Amino acid sequence: MDGTAALREFLTSRRAAIDPGEVGLARSPVPRRKRGLRREEVAVLAGVSVDYYARLEQGRIGNISDQVLTAIEDALRLDELERAHLRSLIAPAHVRRWPPNLKARPALRLLVDAMEVPAVLQGPRLEVLATNSGARALLADFDAMPAKARNIARWIFLDPSARIVYPQWDEVAAPVAATLRANLDPHAPDVELEQLVAELSGASSDFARFWADYRLYEHSHGRKQFFHEPIGVMTLNYETLTVPGGDGLFISTYTADVGSSSEEKLGLLVTAFTAGRSGG
């Protein structure tokens, strides 16, 4: 997808996501054929002409002032990540290029393996580059998978076991698709990422649905639920640690609140997994 098509798709999706009543617009006497705001309504909210906004969606606007762009961002109720994405589509200041076939340097593998909590090293395409025993117990044994299958997005959307591990699967899967969407830069073709998106779009109707929403996501921190037999449900905290170097690598770690039942369950899970792998 080129920059113009991406800009049109993004702006159209953000219009569609807004309920006219939420922004103070009166109910239209003309039935709406599509959900969300019309172009003319965005133009009114942003204080620009309908023709100007239409040309922006079509990618036919040259230089655009920061004041006007901010007004359009406000009208579309964009968050910080979406604002940065819109500006990169309109005037790319820096084209990101990630190397194909990313590999983890040995020191990073050692770091992940030495962590006492479950940890996963991932690339910008959500490829799994390294895990420790805690992560293999908690999520999946990626080391035992074929190289191509070692990808969080592939596992989430194509492996039925992921729906068991995550009781609140939709709440985990939607951000995964949104992360890939945020990392797909039309100004920097990425064959590996484009092939992954095409594969998942064809193989998973859920992924196709989330992809069509055009949501953006950047891993940070929060809480997730996990389920494993026979210990039951655990609630864990996750933190994202960005690896310096510019290749888009990051480490996801998982911890339980001290003294909680989840801490005890996580310990039992990792111990059982480690004993099983060692044959004990």
CA distances from 217 to 160, 168, 182 (A): 23, 18, 6
Under the banding of pLDDT at 50, 70 and 90, the label for residue 1 is low
Residue 101 counted as domain residue: no
**Do 42 and 121 share a domain, yes or no?**
no
Inside any domain, residue 198: yes
Last residue of a domain, one of 65, 90, 115: 90
Q: Are residues 26 and 80 in the same domain?
A: yes
Share of the chain above pLDDT 90, in %: 71
149 in the same domain as 13: no
Residue 95 has pLDDT above 70, yes or no: no
Neighbours of 62 (CB within 10 A): 6
Does 242 fall in a domain? yes
Q: Is the pLDDT of residue 129 over 70?
A: yes
Based on the domain organization, do 116 and 250 belong to the same domain?
A: yes
Q: What's 181's domain CATH number?
A: 3.30.450.180
Structure tokens at 132: 């420790």
Q: Are 180 and 116 in a shared domain?
A: yes
Q: Would the pLDDT of 71 be above 60?
A: yes
Residues 112 and 239 in one domain: yes
Domain coverage including residue 69: 3-90
Give 155-165 pLDDT, tens digit per residue: 999 999 999 99
- Condensed to tens digits (0 to 9), the pLDDT of residues 143-152 reads 999 998 999 9
DSSP string, 38-60: -HHHHHHHHTS-HHHHHHHHTT-
Task: Mark whether 118 and 83 lie in a shared domain.
Answer: no
d(Cα 164, Cα 147) in Å, to the nearest integer?
A: 23
Closest among 261, 243, 272 to 138, alpha carbons compared: 272
CATH classification at residue 66: 1.10.260.40
Tokens of 175: 């951000």
